[in-house]
Amino acid sequence: MTNNTKVFLVLNSGSSSEKFSLYEGEDEIASLYFEGVEENGQKQFICTLTRADGTEEKIDQTWSTLDVAFKEAKAIFEREGFINEAHPLDGILVRVVAAGEYFSKNHIVDEQTFKELEKVRITNPLHVPGTERGIKNAKETFPEIPVIIMSDSEALTKKSRKDTAYALPTEIVQEFNLGRWGAHGASYGYMMNKIPELGLLKPKMVVCHLGSGCSVTALVNGEPAYTSMGETPLEGLMSSTRTGSIDPTIGALLGEKLGAAKAIKLMNKESGLLAMAGSNDMREIIAGAEEDNPDAAAAYNLFIDGVVGKIGEFAAKMGGIDALVFTATIGERSIPVRSSIIAKLEFMGFKIKDDVALDKSAGYANAADDGSKPIYVIPTNEAAYMIKKASELLDQTQPTS
């Protein structure tokens, strides 16, 4: 990292939640999580403080709106001694899940940022409002501190990518600045650095980011060649609440029936595992499948087949595959999911151990059985990657003496 001593506040905005994570270098000092709850028939927001040692403390206060979260977070961090004159902020990081050329790079927020956000509202109605709220509140609360938008596709928008275009009329592509930008870029960027650092780099690899959102990316000599997400994170794999890729006619019909914004919300927030099995928790779905619940079994099988299919597609496009990597919550923790996926890939030279523990001292685990190609389990650290890139950006923009 360019500078391990910088202090960053990392913001993660949701439609009804706000999380503030305070980092010194790559070490998380503390975090605050504001979330909405129902109290006496009215929505209130509560806050939980988590310290570096993992201990949690419920803040003895409630709020009627999320708009005050940034101001309250500043007050709490200062009261607890995490931010002060001797320990000031260097920057505030806001992750942006938005498409387009501008948002394929990281930027220090200026007036152009807000103009570009307005342009992508039509394709990103779920993410843009929270992003705008977070940026505006950050600038009002910390007017002297740089606010940096962190692209969720920056690590994937490289010349090595072979799947960036859509087969649409040129004038439509240009009007909406359409492209297969990809997402989960902070996770893949971290992996592109971590895999060679661990000495695990192989010529043809597939990284499976399986969590609440799911995607797969193929790396050729450590650089991205193909990725499953597209203009938005909706394309590609089914996940906890997303449909994944479906017949575009269905999207058009839903748009006609519900309106574009509601249709996009339905396909992103009310579909996927949740719609099929009644739960978006993979552990509950696995338990249901084991108890012969047909809905849970159908959802689980569709999920597994989706991941396997994308791995097979990328292996065919690369002309082979030398190693697999699993990361993110499901990828790192779910032995049944990894085993189900690998069971369908034995014809490609993969065979998995029944159980494998992550060696934290090594930073990864090889879940491959004897005679198998490598199957690595590597914890991701999206914040570490964002902090690295933000530090580099600030160092580049600081005036030289």
Q: Rounded to the nearest 5°, which phi and psi values hold at 26?
A: -95, 5
Which residue reads 């990328």 in tokens? 314
Check 60, 67, 110, 152 and give the catalytic one.
152
49 in Cβ contact with 59 (< 8 Å) = yes
List, as one string, the DSSP characters of 300-352.
Answer: HHHHHHHHHHHHHHHHHHHT---EEEEEHHHHHH-HHHHHHHHHT-GGGT--B
Helix (H) or strand (E) holding 23: strand 17-24
Cα gap 143→168, rounded to integer Å: 43
Residue closest to 175 by CA, chosen among 227, 127, 123: 123
Helix (H) or strand (E) holding 96: strand 91-96
The reply to whether 152 belongs to the active site is yes
Cα gap 128→134, rounded to integer Å: 10
Tokens found for residue 345: 């890939």
SS3 66: helix
**Catalytic residues, which ones?**
152
